């Protein structure tokens, strides 16, 4: 979306080593497909830095291909200098061995970071506007473009319940209301051989995510905006809010003492947690 594909970048870099910089031979190509340059938590980047003893120079097509964060770039350059390693851009003539060269490099990085942050701000604003104008009706569960959480799926863009998973979600809410801690609930689920969608064991973190996601009470959330959906819920808003208040009362961190509630229906009907088959979209 931003120019050359990964394959095209690799071809140009290899060509640079073969035709332009005759003193370079390729040790390894490190790829980070689908990862943002704003972070260093990228498998390819992590592997590259861990193998620093095996190579002498990092070659990139453009500087913003490796970092979109000035601080991270400076930290990388400092580490390269300590280990007597070099950095080179195939399309930008920059001499990082001089003070002026390093200054220009930093300025380019600042511009790349600014562009990245502005794109992020525009995307965030667009998503918020979409959330505020999204109107759902029964049978038209539009979403804002997201990976559906455990208990839900998407079919032709329509949100729907995954029955077996949603039964597990309801069990999680029930056990929490009965006084079980997140550690106890995870132990119970794992002991019974129940796994997450990815086949992983349950932990306090993924259980906490489920307990605080309003999608299970009939609402999709984008920051402070709640959008009603009409897929089968796991609990009704009253029960969901009770769980939020219960979790807030148990929290040790003062920042988690304020429960985030959802609007309650005027005549809430408690869902029968022992007979999922009778629950409908109506």
Q: Are residues 252 and 149 part of one domain?
A: yes
Let me know if residue 232 belongs to a domain: yes
* Helix (H) / strand (E) containing 60: strand 57-60
Q: Same domain for 20 and 85? A: yes
In-domain check, residue 126: no
Instruction: Kindly state whether residues 177 and 228 are assigned to the same domain.
Output: yes
Pick from 152, 101, 123, 147: nearest CA to 38: 123
Residue 226, pLDDT score:
79
> What percent of the chain clears pLDDT 70, i.e. is strictly above it?
74
Tell whether 156 and 226 lie within a shared domain: yes
In this structure, the answer to whether residues 71 and 139 fall within a common structural domain is no
Q: Among 9-13, 52-56, 209-213, which is the least confidently predicted range?
A: 9-13
| More confident of the two residues 251 and 175 | 175
- Residue 162 is part of a domain; what is its CATH number? 3.90.1750.20
Query: Residue 229: inside a domain, yes or no?
Result: yes
pLDDT band at 136 (very low <50, low <70, confident <90, very high): low
Do 110 and 144 fall into the same domain?
A: no
Tell me the pLDDT of the chain averaged across its residues.
80
Is 166 a domain residue?
Answer: yes
66-110 confidence digits (pLDDT tens): 877 777 887 888 888 889 988 888 887 665 656 766 676 677 667
* CATH code of the domain in which 89 resides: 3.40.50.1390
User: What's the rounded Cα separation, in Å, for the pair 257 and 38?
Assistant: 32
Question: 17 and 90 in contact (C-beta within 8 Å)?
Answer: no
Domain-located, residue 46: yes
**Does residue 30 share a domain with residue 78?**
yes
Burial of 231 (0-12, 13-18, 19+ CB in 10 A): buried
Q: Is the pLDDT of residue 223 over 90?
A: no
Q: Is 41 helix (H, G, I), strand (E, B) or coil?
A: coil
User: Could you tell me if 147 and 85 lie in one domain?
Assistant: no
Please count the structural domains in the chain: 2
The span from the CA of 243 to the CA of 147, in Å, is 24
- The string of pLDDT tens digits covering residues 35-70 is 877 788 889 999 999 999 999 999 998 877 787 777
In a domain, 121, yes or no: no
pTM of the predicted structure, to 2 decimals: 0.50
Range of the domain at 102: 6-114
Last-in-domain residue among 85, 114, 143: 114
Q: Is residue 228 part of a domain?
A: yes
Residue 21, domain member (yes or no): yes
Cα radius of gyration (the chain)? 25
* Residue-wise DSSP of 210-239: HHT-GGGGTEEEETTEEEE--SPPSS-HHH
Express each pLDDT in 137-162 by its tens digit.
555 556 555 688 999 998 877 788 99
Q: What is the reported pLDDT for 64?
A: 74
CA distance 85 to 231: 55
Q: Are residues 272 and 161 in the same domain?
A: yes
**Residue 64 and residue 91: Cα distance in Å, rounded?**
11
Residue 244 and residue 166 share a domain: yes
CB contact at 8 A, 267 and 236: no
Q: Point out the domain boundary residue: 62, 82, 114.
A: 114
């Amino acid at each position: 979306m931003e120019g050359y594909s990964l394959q095209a970048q690799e071809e140009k870099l290899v060509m640079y080593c073969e035709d332009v910089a005759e003193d370079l031979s390729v040790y390894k190509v490190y790829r980070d497909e689908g990862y943002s340059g704003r972070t260093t938590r990228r498998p390819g980047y992590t592997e590259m830095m861990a193998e620093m003893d095996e190579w002498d120079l990092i070659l990139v097509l453009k500087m913003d291909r490796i970092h979109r964060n000035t601080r991270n770039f400076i930290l990388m350059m400092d580490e390269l200098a300590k280990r007597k390693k070099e950095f080179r851009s195939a399309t930008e003539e920059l001499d990082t061995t001089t003070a002026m060269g390093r200054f220009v490099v930093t300025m380019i990085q600042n511009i790349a970071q600014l562009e990245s942050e502005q794109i992020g701000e525009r995307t965030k604003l667009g998503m918020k506007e979409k959330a505020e104008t999204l109107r759902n009706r029964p049978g038209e569960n539009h979403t804002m473009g997201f990976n559906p959480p455990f208990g839900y799926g998407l079919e032709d863009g329509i949100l729907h319940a995954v029955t077996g998973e949603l039964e597990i979600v309801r069990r999680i809410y029930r056990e929490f209301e009965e006084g079980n801690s997140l550690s106890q609930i995870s132990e119970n689920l794992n002991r019974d051989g129940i796994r997450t969608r990815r086949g992983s064991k349950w932990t306090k973190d993924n259980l906490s995510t489920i307990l605080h996601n309003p999608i299970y009470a009939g609402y999709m959330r984008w920051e402070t905006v709640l959008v009603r959906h009409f897929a089968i819920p796991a609990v009704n808003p009253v029960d969901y809010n009770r769980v939020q208040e219960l979790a807030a009362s148990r929290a040790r961190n003062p920042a988690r003492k304020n429960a985030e509630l959802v609007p309650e229906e005027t005549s809430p009907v408690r869902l029968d947690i022992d007979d999922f088959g009778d629950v409908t979209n109506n």
